[in-house]
Amino acid sequence: MLPSSTVENYLKAIYLGEGHLADDQRLVPMGQLASALGVAPGTATTMVKALAESGLVEYEPYNGVRLSAAGEKLAALVLRRHRLIELFLVRVMGLGWDEVHDEAEQLEHHVSDRLIERIDEMLGRPEVDPHGDPIPKADGHVARHEFDTLLTCPLGERVTVTRVTDQEAPFLRFIEQHNLMPGESIEVEARDEVSDSVRLKGRSDQRITIGMRAASKVRVSASDASSRG
Amino acid sequence: MLPSSTVENYLKAIYLGEGHLADDQRLVPMGQLASALGVAPGTATTMVKALAESGLVEYEPYNGVRLSAAGEKLAALVLRRHRLIELFLVRVMGLGWDEVHDEAEQLEHHVSDRLIERIDEMLGRPEVDPHGDPIPKADGHVARHEFDTLLTCPLGERVTVTRVTDQEAPFLRFIEQHNLMPGESIEVEARDEVSDSVRLKGRSDQRITIGMRAASKVRVSASDASSRG
DNA sequence: TGAATAATTTTGACTATCCAAAATTAAATC
DNA sequence: GATTTAATTTTGGATAGTCAAAATTATTCA
Ligand SMILES: [Mn+2]
Ligand SMILES: [Mn+2]
Ligand SMILES: [Mn+2]
Ligand SMILES: [Mn+2]
């Protein structure tokens, strides 16, 4: 009865897919799901129908799929394992933040509850992973902070990077090389629609200009008093 | 082309099964293999024929199966991962030596070469796992020490426990509770065929009497100068 | 050496997961 | 509103791994 790694991957992909959507209409389209998982569309359809049978998702033909309460809890626990493992690999094993995602993608399905509890304890019950993604609690509850991106935050004010929402290694290495990792204090100097670019002032007034697509993947919060690492 | 965890488990079971046998006639019978893996006999037959197709084993119908050179190397690498993981879980994560085997049984298939290298480095290139089992090198080479068991070692001489060849948690807990773990210095006082028992003098002259079956699972070496932790 | 027993292999069938291509439905466009 | 396009589902088929039970081969033992 325990879910296979395939099932866990589907649930997680739906969970993450739902994130992009509004609170009411949170149906993930089949096409998006299939491409997120790297399977053919028909495969996703078949699989989702099976998941619906076992009560983990609700499926609306031609519209998409959403998680049931049970499915959402399971997905959150997979994500918890994933993110705790990522942080563990960076902090304890000394791996780079750009190489832990793929490793966690495998291990998240094969680590026992007992070991996860050990890791959580050893890391001091952390709230976020190396990319700033929140770590769900053991009961499946997730703290959902809403942050601005570099596209929506105020201009000319110091802000702190809180989260980088792209797991691709080359992007993460770029972020690291330019001191834009979570915790860094930066400022958006200007945005230009025409050139599709955003100009930043980074650590020690270092200037960088990045594209808007990239800018939308960096989340920030106001750099004043109230914050939690 | 990379082997599935099922294939890895078969190769490892054959490798370990061969251990019991003499150097010439090292064919593992199908029945033993099937029961080691917890599958039906017919399943093992089918699977072994497939392994033979891909050149990982040599299969003699009605006689049994042995590893090819390629299969032996693969098996040794799986065992390397298994044992490094066990030691890591005990030394770094603080798990008990009686609970790491099952965890390692899963993780051995899903940990990357990179992470294994990190673990090996972090542990200081260890030679043996928490049970005293030798850890194969990255090239597949294994140091095969031959040790006496408590059934064959000299009577009335101090010896050092080097290895405990049973992974069952209750047995390991028994060993631990009576200070018979690898590294402990003990002495066999007497053996009695009739009562099927072996009397030991343990740490601080503590006396224990165990059965011969159990005694055969504890390996020891002479307690004098030359030894390697 | 012939029958009884034990080990092994074969057969037929099942589940989970996947793909390619055809068929269908929905959305967009004229 | 009819037609083209895009998304989705269906169909037919494949692979890996498994089991139960029947058939076969080997072994034991009288
Ligand atoms: Mn995964
Ligand atoms: Mn992450
Ligand atoms: Mn295993
Ligand atoms: Mn071991």
What's the CATH architecture for A148-222?
Roll (2.30)
Among A141, A142, A160, CA closest to A150? A160
Please judge whether B92 and A92 are an interchain contact, meaning their C-beta atoms are less than 8 angstroms apart.
yes
Q: List B190's β-bridge partners, or say none.
A: B199
The boundaries of every CATH 2.30.30.90 domain in chain A are 148-222
Q: From chain A, pick out residues whose CB is under 8 angstroms from the CB of B115.
A: 89, 93, 95, 103
* Alpha carbon of A6 to ligand 1 centroid (Å): 8
In terms of CA atoms, which chain A residue is nearest residue B99? A114
CA closest to C18 C1', residue? A43
User: Residue B66 carries which DSSP code?
Assistant: E
- Give CB contacts under 8 A, 24+ apart, made by B165-169: B165/B131, B165/B133, B165/B217, B165/B218, B165/B219, B166/B217, B167/B101, B167/B131, B169/B98, B169/B99, B169/B101
Supply the pTM of this predicted model: 0.92
Among A49, A44, A73, A56, CA closest to A1? A56
Among partner residues A94, A110, A119, which is closest to B118 by beta-carbon distance? A94
Q: Is the dihedral of CA B79, B80, B83, B85 positive or negative?
A: negative
Q: Which nucleotides of D are covered by protein (CB under 7 A)?
A: 7-12, 16-22, 25-26
Q: Considering only A15-29, A161-175, B97-111, which range has the smallest mean pLDDT?
A: A15-29
In terms of CA atoms, which chain B residue is nearest residue A100? B115
Q: Which residues from A are below 8 Å from B when comparing CB atoms?
A: 89, 92-95, 99, 102-103, 106-107, 109-112, 114-115, 118-119, 122
* CATH code of the domain occupying B5-67: 1.10.10.10
Please judge whether B106 and A114 are an interchain contact, meaning their C-beta atoms are less than 8 angstroms apart.
no
When the pLDDT of each residue in chain B is averaged and rounded to a whole number, the result is 94
Q: What would the pLDDT profile of A118-149 be if each residue is shown by its tens digit?
A: 999 999 999 999 999 999 999 999 998 889 99
Å from A117 (CA) to D7 (C1')? 43
Q: What would the pLDDT profile of B80-124 be if each residue is shown by its tens digit?
A: 999 999 999 999 999 999 999 999 999 999 999 999 999 999 999
The boundaries of every CATH 1.10.10.10 domain in chain A are 5-67
